[in-house]
Structure 1
Amino acid sequence: MLYEIIGDQPVPVPTSSFCGHGESEATLCSWIVGRPSMLHEDLLILNEDCSTFAGSNVRPDVLALDRQGRLVLIEVKRDVATRSAIAQVLTYVGFASRLTVQQIIEIFGDYLERLGNCRDSASPLICRFLGEPDPAQLTLNPPLSQRAVVVAGGFSTDARVAADWLVDQGVPIQFFETVYMPQEERCLLDLSEINPPFMSVAQPGSAEARLSLNAVVAGPVIDKAETYHRFWEHVIERFKLAGDERFGSGTTPSGNMLLRSWHSRGGVRFALIMNKSEAGVGMSFFRAEDVLDALIERRADIERRFGDALDWRRETNRFGVFCNCSILNEGNWSETAEWMVETLPRFVAAVEPALVEVLAGS
């Protein structure tokens, strides 16, 4: 609630929805495009309200790039967003995950041209934004790095339930709520990020019982991006202290995973994993399922070299060794990092002979 001080008394400023005041979603989109920092970060706008993905007529409201080279898909609703808004933005994220560096540059070039600017400046502008002087070294849209943002005047119950589940699964999605405050000579806009969990856990009993149960089940509300950033910084420092530079330069943090690409084949990556229920050391395969299948055929040899059974998760295109722990238990971060430092060399030594053989034959 925003208050205006009249005399010596705070008086609530009347609010209105965009819908009730006659403003359109296009107006709100134009404000975000004109000042992306409204979303609390630096973004480079790549496209807006235009068919972006080849072979599809879906039209994300805004396509942007963050300072880490990750694509940000923004869906805007002038009033209350339902679950369909979340489905929309996740569909856009799915399409965006397939974009190559050249396709992203072409999309941005088309946008610049529509604005009356030179399309050939797309690559230099992206380089300048990311602080990368060499266009040939541009790293854009790393696997599993895409982010979703929903901006709305509120969120329906079904949208809030869906949002809670997505955030709990580590999906990089943010929610911003708008409050529009028209006045006689000016208009005010409040755009605030809201952090799930939105909902109490529905259980029989009193409202107090439900709230109490929610506190136990849902656990503390944390800034997941900040928490993961601190955890991975801690892990990388432990690797450096051990003289292991595999997760130094060239490392791509992506939420609950820390990825290091295999130099011979895109999409074949060592992966460190950490979430609310487990930590892992393994490999992840993005559009390289053929390599994973070939390694599965060599499973017995790999596990013999490792000295123990590995967890093969073909449905999520990864495998490795996992242990029970939680990102929420900061007191165990050092122990988890040490386990990763000790386990990774054993894992690499077990997998590398088979991986070299597979890649040599591909």
Structure 2
Amino acid sequence: MYRINRSSNSIQRLEEKSFSGLGFREREHLQEWIAKQPGVLGEDLLIIQKEFSGFNDTQERLDLLALDKQGALVIIENKLDDSGRDVTWQALKYASYCSRLSKSNIANIYQQYLDRSQPGTKAEDLLSEFFDNQDFADITLNKGVTQRIMLIAANFRKEVTSTVLWLLNFKVRLHCFRATPYAMGDELFLNVEQIIPTQDTEEYMIGMAEKAQDDIEDQVEQKHRHVIRREFWGRIIEAMNATPSSLYQSISPGDSSWIGAGSGVGGIGLHFVATRQYGRAELYIDRPDKAENEYIFEQFMARREEIENVFGGVLEWEPLEGRKACRIKAETPGNIFDREQWESMIQFMVDSMYRLELAVKGPLREIWTARRSQLAPGVVGE
């Protein structure tokens, strides 16, 4: 750090010092400076307590307790020249303790602080003023897991910075500030710099942390979905094999949203599909050529009345505009992830598949025999 000398149009290097070398102490000096000027941490903070020890069954004390403009509690820990190894664990404990504080608890804590520092001042009045003159009744404090942690030290050990960076991936709201004293003659200076996350990358790091957490949650959810689907498809296959149909006898449960069995014609399958919105049985026509799929679908459509009579009900006929495939389906509302709906979904899907197989088996054989005769000599078509 340098001091600008206007008269000589030059800069003069300030001498970096240590707090201990200057005779400063953590509680008597650094803590007091921050308490009197919390804006040094880069935002508007309201200090509501020093040396807070209002935790059940423990004598531990956190250095400073504050509120930010969003009503979140901010745990501030000061460590002078060295962060120590355990500051993150210590601060996390304090944050967990403070997560239980209610709005009235916070007002009482602040009032106790004011009774010592500003006798006669009411906590609710200063809280209202800090929150842009809102009525105290309308102010929300310490909602959910909004607690924040600020660590201040001249030097941070690698095990601390590594832990902090890792915790950021889990949306723990944690900041590290490097506090450095400087001297020039008898003049002393203090520089407080946010180093994790750096101010110019904070928004990016928060975004990355949110993405990382979303990815973790998605992995957990995906694993859960896979387990549920395998169990559901196992039940479906068991129920299907209890019918006279042999369609699914060689099929194993999967973890996708569908399972399928062949119809005897390549690219045309009899599939079960189940999602959060529906369960269905379908004939899915998905050969490599779109025009051929449309031709086969049209041949089925020409025999729609016959097929639905054998099926014993109305089917949904979908040419799937804009896609290569076509399908014929029977569908019911349902949610595969709600086990209470499984019995009705499985009954509908298995019954529909059994009847759909009977209804399309003959027409498919005849349609495909006619189609093969149209193919060039030597082309198998399967």
TM-score of the two chains, using structure 2 as the length reference: 0.53
Q: Which whole-Å CA distance do the structure 1 matches of 2:142 and 2:128 have between them? A: 14
What amino acid sits opposite 2:185 in the alignment? E
Q: How far does residue 10 in structure 1 lie from its aligned partner after superposition?
A: 3.5
Q: Which whole-Å CA distance do the structure 1 matches of 2:46 and 2:125 have between them? A: 13
Q: How far does residue 276 in structure 1 lie from its aligned partner after superposition?
A: 5.6
Is the Cα–Cα contact under 8 Å of residues 171 and 206 in structure 2 kept in the other structure?
Answer: no
Residue aligning to 2:130? 129
What amino acid sits opposite 1:222 in the alignment? T
Residue aligning to 2:54? 52
Q: Per the alignment, in what secondary structure is the counterpart of residue 61 of structure 1?
A: strand
123 and 225 in structure 1: CA distance in 2 versus 1, 3 angstrom threshold: farther
* Superposed CA offset, 1:195-234 (max 9, x none): 259xxxxxxxxxxxxxxxxxxxxxxx83138865xx9xxx
Q: Which whole-Å CA distance do the structure 2 matches of 1:133 and 1:173 have between them? A: 27
What amino acid sits opposite 2:109 in the alignment? I
166 and 2 in structure 1: CA distance in 2 versus 1, 3 angstrom threshold: farther
1:24-63 paired onto structure 2 within 5 Å:
24-26=25-27, 27-63=29-65
Q: Which whole-Å CA distance do the structure 1 matches of 2:26 and 2:216 have between them? A: 42
- 5+ residue gaps, structure 1, are 198-220, 232-254, 257-273, 282-299, 310-349, 352-362
Is the Cα–Cα contact under 8 Å of residues 14 and 182 in structure 2 kept in the other structure?
Answer: yes
Larger Rg: 2
Is the Cα–Cα contact under 8 Å of residues 78 and 152 in structure 1 kept in the other structure?
Answer: yes
Q: Per the alignment, in what secondary structure is the counterpart of residue 19 of structure 1?
A: coil
1:274-353 paired onto structure 2 within 5 Å:
275=212, 277-278=214-215, 306-307=276-277
Q: Which whole-Å CA distance do the structure 1 matches of 2:103 and 2:22 have between them? A: 41
Residue aligning to 2:344? none
Q: How far does residue 20 in structure 1 lie from its aligned partner after superposition?
A: 1.5
What amino acid sits opposite 2:203 in the alignment? K
4 and 91 in structure 1: CA distance in 2 versus 1, 3 angstrom threshold: same
Q: Which whole-Å CA distance do the structure 1 matches of 2:51 and 2:149 have between them? A: 16
- 5+ residue gaps, structure 2, are 219-231, 233-273, 280-336, 339-382
How many residues align? The count is 230
* Superposed CA offset, 1:304-326 (max 9, x none): 994389xxxxxxxxxxxxxxxxx
Is the Cα–Cα contact under 8 Å of residues 132 and 138 in structure 1 kept in the other structure?
Answer: no
TM-score of the two chains, using structure 1 as the length reference: 0.56
Q: Which whole-Å CA distance do the structure 2 matches of 1:170 and 1:2 have between them? A: 36
Residue aligning to 2:81? 79
Aligned-CA RMSD value: 3.6
Is the Cα–Cα contact under 8 Å of residues 42 and 67 in structure 1 kept in the other structure?
Answer: yes
Residue aligning to 1:178? 179
Is the Cα–Cα contact under 8 Å of residues 4 and 13 in structure 1 kept in the other structure?
Answer: no
81 and 279 in structure 1: CA distance in 2 versus 1, 3 angstrom threshold: closer
Give runs of ≥4 in structure 1 deviating > 6 Å. Answer: none
* Superposed CA offset, 1:31-68 (max 9, x none): 11111100010011100123233443221110000000
Q: Which whole-Å CA distance do the structure 1 matches of 2:112 and 2:57 have between them? A: 17
Matched, 1:67 2:69: yes
Q: Per the alignment, in what secondary structure is the counterpart of residue 127 of structure 1?
A: helix
Q: How far does residue 124 in structure 1 lie from its aligned partner after superposition?
A: 2.0
